[in-house]
């Protein structure tokens, strides 16, 4: 029986007797062993499929906590900047508690499915002619000046909720993995996982800590380059971010764990994106594939110990962005007449080949 993370991990979260019992049954997402990827990469690869959350991304774990606390603290409205997933999740949970939700997104640069979600859940959607970093600067200022709660990952409750994914991985594997590979955009999620793993060790629920390997997209790799990027560019729109808010915390997670922050190219992202779907039957969004692309890159550099266990976080569901999938593969639907004869001819050709 699914319970949702506020109830399931109550002991580890800032849940009080006044916190609303909010849930869309987030969390308890699958951890798949990826057989063919493991064979190719030479380590035991697992995929944490966060796209299986209610609105299709990992944001639901943080959002259920942030929205419940906003309501508990008397707020009637929330606001966020977003490359798409945060806005979809905020809109859904705000709808559930009857809070007003304002979202600011970069015009033309968010996947259609995410925009559709924010709209149908009833959020006020503002599309600015600008990028995520500019949108975030604006909503931070608005939240300072007006009675509206910021629900970007600068809100500490977001990090609290998102750390539960680390707990689940430890439970599903029976221990922490050797490596945690994760896409990095605004850098909230890597911060949350690292906090989660450390807390589980402290609580005696895990015996070791993983190395944290975070991967930015090459055209948006501010942390790797050591300076903000004013016009970030990547096919992975979810992580098209040039000045990550949790920059220092991401660096700390990498340093303290003996891991790293590196980047992957759009080509490496798309190749991993196709392999995850074709080889493992899991459809994630392009940004999510940065975790697997990064692991492949590290293996090629000889940085993966054979036999070690690596968990790649697949942060969002591929259905949010079908356009990229259709462009990313050579396989196109074959158009033939709607007659049995034509279908049989095609099948015979296929069977013979
Ligand atoms: N993967 C996906 C699918 C995302 O949507 C995001 C962030 C990330 C990875 C990176 O996570 O920011 O915690 O480092 N999306 C945010 C949004 C920015 O607005 O939906 P991060």
What are the pLDDT digits (tens) for 166-209?
A: 999 999 999 999 999 999 999 999 999 999 999 999 999 999 99
Q: How confident is the model at residue 331 (pLDDT cuts 50, 70, 90)?
A: confident
Output the pLDDT for position 350. Answer: 79
Cα separation of 193 and 187, whole Å? 11
**Where are the alpha helices (H) located in 203-339, listed in sequence order?**
222-225, 247-257, 266-280, 290-300, 322-328
Percent over 70 (pLDDT), the chain: 100
User: How is the chain split among helix, strand and coil, in percent rounded to 5?
Assistant: 50, 15, 35
Mean pLDDT, rounded, for 268-282: 98
The residue out of 150, 176, 193 marking a domain boundary is 150
State the CATH number of the domain containing residue 10.
3.40.50.1100
From the annotation, which residues make up the binding site for pyridoxal 5'-phosphate?
Answer: 85, 185-189, 315
Residue 301 lies in a domain: yes
Same domain, 206 and 289: yes
Residue 82 lies in a domain: yes
Same domain, 85 and 115: yes
Same domain, 187 and 287: yes
Asked whether the predicted pLDDT for residue 353 surpasses 80, the reply is no
Same domain, 130 and 232: no
Q: Count of domains in the chain?
A: 2
**239 CA to middle of ligand 1, Å?**
6
Residue nearest to atom 15 of ligand 1 (CA): 238
Cα separation of 142 and 295, whole Å? 39
318 lines ligand 1 (CB under 6 A): no
Reduced to 3 states, what is the DSSP secondary structure of residue 291?
A: helix
Same domain, 145 and 291: no
Mean pLDDT, rounded, for 201-225: 98
Residue 117 lies in a domain: yes
Mean pLDDT, rounded, for 152-157: 98
Residue 323 lies in a domain: yes
Mean pLDDT, rounded, for 217-237: 98
Beta-strand relationship, 44-49 and 31-33: antiparallel
Same domain, 181 and 260: yes
Residue 88 lies in a domain: yes
The residue out of 104, 122, 150 marking a domain boundary is 150
Q: What are phi and psi of 340, to 5 degrees?
A: -55, -40
Domain membership of residue 242 as a residue range: 5-57+156-328
Atom of ligand 1 at shortest range from CA of 241: 18
Same domain, 30 and 92: no
Output the pLDDT for position 257. Answer: 98
Residue 277 lies in a domain: yes
Residue 339 lies in a domain: no
User: Are 119 and 191 contacting, i.e. CB atoms less than 8 angstroms apart?
Assistant: no
Output the pLDDT for position 204. Answer: 98
User: Are 190 and 250 contacting, i.e. CB atoms less than 8 angstroms apart?
Assistant: yes
Mean pLDDT, rounded, for 251-255: 98
Same domain, 173 and 322: yes
ipTM, interface predicted TM-score of the complex: 0.99
Output the pLDDT for position 118. Answer: 98
Look up residue 220 and give its DSSP letter: G
117 lines ligand 1 (CB under 6 A): no
Look up residue 17 and give its DSSP letter: T
148 lines ligand 1 (CB under 6 A): no
Same domain, 119 and 195: no
Cα separation of 230 and 132, whole Å? 10
Cα separation of 188 and 62, whole Å? 10
Same domain, 96 and 39: no
Asked whether the predicted pLDDT for residue 8 surpasses 90, the reply is yes
* Residue 178: closest CA among 47, 45, 293: 45
Asked whether the predicted pLDDT for residue 222 surpasses 80, the reply is yes
* pLDDT-wise least confident of 49-63, 114-128, 210-224, 329-343: 329-343
Same domain, 244 and 185: yes
Residue 110 lies in a domain: yes
């Amino acid at each position: 029986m699914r319970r949702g993370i506020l109830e399931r991990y109550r002991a580890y979260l800032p849940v009080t007797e006044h916190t609303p019992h909010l849930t869309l049954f987030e969390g308890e997402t699958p951890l798949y062993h990826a057989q063919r990827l493991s064979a190719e990469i030479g380590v035991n690869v697992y995929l944490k499929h966060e796209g299986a959350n209610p609105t299709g991304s990992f944001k639901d774990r943080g959002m259920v906590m942030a929205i419940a606390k906003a309501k508990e603290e008397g707020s009637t409205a929330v606001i966020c900047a977003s490359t798409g997933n945060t806005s979809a999740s905020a809109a859904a949970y705000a709808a559930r508690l009857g809070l007003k939700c304002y979202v600011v997104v970069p015009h033309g640069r968010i996947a259609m499915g995410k925009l559709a979600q924010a709209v149908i859940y009833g959020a006020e959607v503002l599309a600015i002619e600008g990028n995520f970093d500019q949108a975030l600067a604006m909503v931070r200022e608005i939240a300072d000046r007006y009675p509206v709660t910021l629900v970007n990952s600068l809100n500490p409750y977001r990090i609290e909720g998102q750390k539960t994914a680390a707990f689940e991985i430890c439970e599903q594997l029976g221990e922490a993995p050797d490596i945690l590979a994760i896409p990095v955009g605004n850098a909230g999620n890597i911060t949350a996982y690292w906090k989660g793993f450390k807390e589980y060790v402290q609580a005696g629920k895990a015996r070791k800590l993983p190395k944290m390997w975070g991967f930015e997209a090459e055209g948006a790799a501010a942390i790797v380059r050591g300076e903000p990027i004013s016009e970030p560019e990547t096919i992975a729109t979810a992580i098209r971010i040039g000045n990550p808010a949790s920059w220092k915390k991401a660096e700390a997670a990498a340093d303290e764990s003996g891991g790293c922050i590196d980047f992957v190219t759009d080509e490496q992202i798309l190749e991993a994106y196709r392999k995850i779907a074709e080889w493992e039957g899991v459809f994630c969004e392009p940004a999510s594939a940065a975790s697997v692309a990064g692991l492949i890159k590290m293996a090629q550099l000889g940085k993966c110990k054979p036999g070690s266990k690596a968990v790649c976080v697949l942060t969002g569901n591929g259905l949010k962005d079908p356009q990229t999938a259709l462009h990313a593969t050579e396989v196109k639907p074959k158009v033939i007449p709607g007659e049995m004869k034509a279908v049989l001819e095609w099948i015979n050709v296929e069977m013979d080949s």
